[in-house]
């Protein structure tokens, strides 16, 4: 089941205990949340997380598989905490650390590997790569 950005932001704010379950979220909190969410998503690349993200609005669906929603909620809660004067609980801190590792593992981009120039090349066991590709 997909979530909208608004739903994820509300969940992150509740994670911080800024608003109790069942209480409405202020529009200003949602606007702050979407700004921080888009900034967080764009900033992932600098942490080795290559999601390929384009900014979204509050009522747009989160463009990741549902299994990554919890990770995004916890990481957003960490980013939002100073804005709301919230103390991060140890559970949220641990969850966010695990969440970042989960996203790095899922969205890591491994570059092309090249042999160093000093590496010996040539025939081995009677054949070479050229023999295999040229018939």
Report yes or no: 4 and 61 within 8 Å, Cβ to Cβ: yes
Domain boundaries in the chain? 5-107
Query: pLDDT tens across 54-95, in order?
Result: 999 999 999 999 999 999 999 999 999 999 999 999 999 999
Predicted confidence (pLDDT) at residue 128 exceeds the cutoff of 60:
no
Predicted confidence (pLDDT) at residue 51 exceeds the cutoff of 80:
yes
Backbone φ/ψ region at 106: left (φ over 0), alpha (ψ -120 to 50), beta = alpha
Name the residue among 12, 1, 66 with its Cα closest to residue 37.
12
To the nearest whole percent, how much of the chain has pLDDT over 70? 88
Q: Supply the pTM of this predicted model.
A: 0.79
Predicted confidence (pLDDT) at residue 4 exceeds the cutoff of 60:
yes
């Amino acid at each position: 089941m997909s979530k909208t950005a608004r739903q994820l932001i509300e969940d992150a704010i509740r994670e911080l205990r800024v608003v109790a379950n069942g209480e409405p979220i202020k529009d200003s909190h949602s606007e702050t949340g979407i700004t921080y969410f888009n900034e967080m998503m764009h900033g992932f690349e600098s942490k080795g997380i290559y999601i390929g993200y384009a900014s979204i609005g509050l009522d747009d669906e989160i463009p990741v598989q549902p299994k990554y929603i919890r990770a995004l909620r916890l990481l957003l809660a960490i980013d939002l905490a100073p804005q709301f004067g919230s103390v991060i609980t140890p559970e949220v801190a641990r969850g966010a650390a695990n969440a970042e590792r989960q996203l790095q593992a899922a969205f890591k981009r491994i570059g092309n590997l090249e042999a160093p120039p000093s590496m010996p090349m040539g025939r081995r066991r009677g054949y070479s790569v050229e023999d295999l590709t040229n018939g």
